[in-house]
Amino acid sequence: MSENSKDSKSKKLSRRQFLGTAGSAIAATTLSGSILSGAVCASKHKESTGAQSPDAQGSVEVSLKVNGKSQTLRVQPRVTLLDTLRERLSLTGSKRICDRGNCGGCTVLLDGKPIYACMMLAVDAQNKEITTIEGLATPQNLTELQKQFVEKDALMCGFCTPGFVMACHAALKANPNATREEIKQACRGNICRCGTFNRVFEAAYAIAKPKT
Amino acid sequence: MSQNKLKWHDRKTSKYLGKNVPRVDGPEKVSGHAKYTYDIILPGMLYGKFLRSPYANAQVKSIDVSKAKNMPGVHAVISDIATQARFAGQEIAAVAAESEEIARDAINAIEIEWDVQPHSVETLIAMRRPDRVSEQRGQTAGGDPNNFWSQCAAVVEGEYYAPVREHLSLETHGVVARWDGPDRATVWVSTQAVHGVAGDLSGAFRIPAENITIICEHMGGGFGSKFSAGTEGLYAMRLARMTNRPVKMMLERYEEQVASGNGPDCFMKCKAGMTADGKLLAIDAEIYGTSGNSRSYNIPFPYIYSVPNTRVKIFAVPTNTGGARALRAPMHPNASFLMETVLDELIAKLNLDPVEVRIANQGSDVRANQLRLGAEKIGWDRRNKTPGQSKERFQRGIGCAVSTWGGGGGRGSECNVRIGRDGNVYAGIGTQDLGTGTRTLVAAIVAEELSIPISKVKADIGRSSLPNSGGSGGSVTAASVSPAVKSAAYEAAQQLLQTASTILGVPPNDLEFKDGQIRSKSDPSKSVSFENACARLPANGISVTGGFVAGLQRGGVAGAQFVEVEVDTWTGHVQPIKVVAVQDCGYWLNKLTAESQIIGGVIQGLSMALFEDRKMDEPTGRMLNPNMETYKVLGALEVPEIEPILFETHEQVAGIGEPVVIPTAAALGNAVYNATGVRIRTLPITPKRWFDALETKR
């Protein structure tokens, strides 16, 4: 995306405009239940890096560690982690479906724990290890869980599938002996419209180790 | 062998067809590498966004886009999409900006002065106004039903309702449009019809269809809502032309739910009667529903049953709501719910066997056998002989219902099969994979014909530059595509046999493809590997285009489903326990994906039965639940055990994507009655509705 391609129109952002931008970031954050955390996070980094002053677009510098790779980019404070991953870093495996924490299609791991990337601002995801579906495997070298998804046909249109893979992956990592019921519980934050649930459970259960 | 005599491979000896074939695009999809329209990012791409009417009926008196136009990062504004909004959510203006956030800001900066006019958004309110209602063609048979009630041993009379439902495709509608020249464009579209959309845009922009390439490699669900280019397609193209940059315009979730189609509701007043021996004798019904602003509406009623004395009046109720689009087996699940509920009530009054009465009132042997098989599989004998006989807190019951569908193929699909000198095999056809497994069946058919590994076949679909194929609707895709693929693969195979014949000195009619070899049938020691035979082809290899072969497909499928539920009589919560779905599907090409279709259809049917309900707000004219939080669908915890049964009736391909969703909701309602003795005539069956119905019963 070329953000400065229209020089004739770009203006210096006034203080009022910046406050407006920050205000919408805060409003968006309240949905996730972490009121003001975006603002707090942003101001903290302002001191340490000195690079947090917004530019003409109101963007600030954000450092993200995604799939083991650290990257620095400029985004507006109101931009979600999901949109940053997808539209800025081209990591489009995490899907935007409901965009408000209802469907699990954007599930990524934050320090190993599954979260909805649509419910977190990019500025809030700094200093964390982010793992997206692309960080698990390539199509040529799938994880055992992903192989089971293919084998058991635990996908149809496939749009929800990365989210289910991430949810099951996290559940089985936390509990390799997961029961069928525990796998079901791990998928309760994910929605599939084609109706693949039964086969998702089968795929995940196939690699769960029996309880000893 | 002439094309007309082509037959599908015997499943007993086939390697792929009829077997469990994992999707060829599965690895891409499970690893997040599959690129959907939503995932397309092009250099210099702008983001398009609509301004939608907040009012259900209003006229634009003035529109001021100057602030939006002058915002940094905004490249184009369109303010003339419509001057009159007929529903809350209608497109009025559009912008293209460097980021989605800026595009949203620009939309918010557009100032409109509205002349707000009266609206009506609720069917049940609007239908009471004769000026809004328009009568459609109904159904009549025999005499006036009113003359027959005295001959009936049981008569029921009541009001029934199933609400508007949404497709809720997980990938919203949307496009990425790029002009490649003044009269050439490449457009990524989340669509069920790549060739259809090429036609739409060609007409709208007056450029030859072959100059527009529509690309849809993968798509995240459509369920009947994604056939046309849509408003988003037209305006993304316009914005892209204005800015000379690619424009991505994916609907946001609320836009998807207010403006991208829905399945109409149905309100029915009905009186029906049955004779003592369980024969439907008369039915008198009035059905009302809304397709949005449209004055047309239809529903097949009394569905699959023949009632000798029938009078069905059907009325369209135009409302200021988003327009209807085909929703997976359009109106069949509604018709099934209405009719099967009425039927079940009559059966209960006479204390007859619901399976036997259904068999007696319909004319299909296939369906009769399906009902008997399903009854055996679910354990029909376990049902409550007296509905609601249990005195326990958790009460179980079983119900059933049936379906009908077409699902045959149609002419117009062409497939190009190529065999290269290097042994690579290619099959190209301009169809699309909605998640049904079309790409996989294209590859499987060719691999089977040539007896080579499926990984050797490149199935190329999802582009309008490929040979023609129709839209994926009406469950016709498998039955339309597979004959074309088969006939092209067959002809290509025949040509390769000529080459092998020269190599082996054996006549072509004595040769067969077997496990990567071409060998003599009479003397199997004479053989040549597939690769070595290909190496002797001319430089340009083999290229064959095949078309439709009527004998490889056949429509007209029946289905029967049985649902077992458990009702918590303290909370009214209904938990599905088990579903047996028996589906007639002719020759199934891929057992794995065919079963997935059945399971998925059942899950959508259960979702309809228990959760789905578009809520309109009459005072404001707006939809109350345009999100996935409050427009509820079935989730992981409600999913029961589902047993899909592929019921083979003939050796020709028939589609099953739609019929499998039809009878589930009706069967579930009947199961709730069998469990608790409480009859619920309105969907979805919520705890509140169960308690309300319990009160009525008392």
ipTM of the complex: 0.97
**What pLDDT is attached to residue A175?**
96
> What is the pLDDT averaged over residues A46-53?
48
3-class secondary-structure state, position B98: coil
Q: Do B32 and A187 touch (CB under 8 A)?
A: no
**What pLDDT is attached to residue A55?**
79
Closest to B52 measured CA to CA, from B671, B687, B634, B626 = B626
- Residue B181 C-beta-side C-alpha neighbours within 13 Å: 7
- Residues B252 and A32: their CA atoms lie apart, in Å, by 18
B638 touches chain A (CB under 8 A): no
Q: How large is the angle between the packed helices B591-610 and A197-207, nearest 10 degrees?
A: 120
Q: Do A199 and B596 touch (CB under 8 A)?
A: yes
* CA distance to partner chain B, nearest, from residue A92 (Å): 5
Closest CA in chain B for residue A108: B32
- Residues B138 and B196: their CA atoms lie apart, in Å, by 31
- Per-residue confidence band for A52, with pLDDT thresholds at 50, 70 and 90: low
Pairing between β-strand B184-189 and β-strand B212-215 as defined by DSSP bridges = parallel
CA B367 to chain centroid, in Å, comes to: 22
- Per-residue confidence band for A54, with pLDDT thresholds at 50, 70 and 90: confident
Average pLDDT score, chain B: 97
Q: Which residues contact A15 (CB under 8 A, 6 or more apart)?
A: none
In chain A, how many H helices and how many E strands? Answer: 7, 5
pLDDT above 80 (res B231): yes
What region, left, alpha or beta, does residue B362 occupy, with left being phi > 0 and alpha being psi -120 to 50 degrees? beta
- On chain A, the residues whose CB falls within 8 A of the CB of B575 are none
- Residues B586 and B332: their CA atoms lie apart, in Å, by 21
pLDDT above 90 (res B599): yes
Closest CA in chain A for residue B433: A157
- On chain A, the residues whose CB falls within 8 A of the CB of B635 are 188, 190-191, 197
- Residues B133 and B319: their CA atoms lie apart, in Å, by 10
Contact B267, B289 (CB under 8 A): yes
- Residues A108 and A130: their CA atoms lie apart, in Å, by 7
Of chain A, the percentage scoring pLDDT greater than 90 comes to 71
**What pLDDT is attached to residue A53?**
72
- On chain A, the residues whose CB falls within 8 A of the CB of B627 are 98, 100, 102
> What is the pLDDT averaged over residues B431-459?
98
> What is the pLDDT averaged over residues A47-56?
58
Closest CA in chain A for residue B328: A194
Pairing between β-strand B74-78 and β-strand B91-97 as defined by DSSP bridges = antiparallel
Closest to B287 measured CA to CA, from B269, B265, B309, B305 = B269
B73 touches chain A (CB under 8 A): yes
- Per-residue confidence band for A209, with pLDDT thresholds at 50, 70 and 90: confident
Contact B141, B310 (CB under 8 A): yes
Residues within 8 A of A (CB atoms), B 553-592 only: 592
- The four Cα atoms B130, B136, B141, B146 give a dihedral, to 10 degrees, of -10
- Residues A22 and B371: their CA atoms lie apart, in Å, by 62
CB-nearest to B31 from A3, A137, A184 is A137
Q: Is the dihedral of CA A54, A55, A59, A60 positive or negative?
A: negative
What region, left, alpha or beta, does residue B85 occupy, with left being phi > 0 and alpha being psi -120 to 50 degrees? beta
Between A and B, how many CB-CB pairs are < 8 A?
A: 204
* CA distance to partner chain B, nearest, from residue A103 (Å): 7
Residues within 8 A of A (CB atoms), B 21-60 only: 22-23, 25-36, 38-39, 41, 43-45
**What pLDDT is attached to residue B643?**
98
Enumerate the H helices of B142-211 as residue ranges. 194-205
Q: Where are the beta strands (DSSP E) in B163-203?
A: 174-181, 184-189
**What pLDDT is attached to residue B479?**
96
Q: Which of B35, B47, B170 to mutate to test the interface with A (most CBs of A within 10 A)?
A: B170
Closest CA in chain B for residue A201: B636
Per-residue pLDDT reduced to its tens digit, A131-160:
999 999 999 999 999 999 999 999 999 999
Contact B40, B87 (CB under 8 A): no
- Residue B121 C-beta-side C-alpha neighbours within 13 Å: 24
pLDDT above 70 (res B24): yes
Contact B510, B518 (CB under 8 A): no
Closest to B67 measured CA to CA, from B112, B113, B109 = B109
**What pLDDT is attached to residue A210?**
80
Q: Do B27 and A79 touch (CB under 8 A)?
A: no
Residues within 8 A of B (CB atoms), A 64-103 only: 76, 78-79, 83, 86-87, 90-100, 102-103
**What pLDDT is attached to residue A58?**
84
Per-residue pLDDT reduced to its tens digit, B355-411:
999 999 999 999 999 999 999 999 999 999 999 999 999 999 999 999 999 999 999
Of chain B, the percentage scoring pLDDT greater than 90 comes to 98
pTM (2 decimals)?
A: 0.93
- Residues B582 and B364: their CA atoms lie apart, in Å, by 14
- Residue B517 C-beta-side C-alpha neighbours within 13 Å: 11
- Per-residue confidence band for B192, with pLDDT thresholds at 50, 70 and 90: very high
- Residues B238 and B590: their CA atoms lie apart, in Å, by 42
> What is the pLDDT averaged over residues B310-321?
98
- Per-residue confidence band for A212, with pLDDT thresholds at 50, 70 and 90: low
Q: Which residues contact B524 (CB under 8 A, 6 or more apart)?
A: B514
Q: How large is the angle between the packed helices B477-504 and B438-450, nearest 10 degrees?
A: 20
* CA distance to partner chain B, nearest, from residue A161 (Å): 6
Q: Kindly report the backbone phi and psi dihedral angles of residue B622, in degrees, each rounded to the nearest multiple of 5, phi listed first.
A: -110, 160
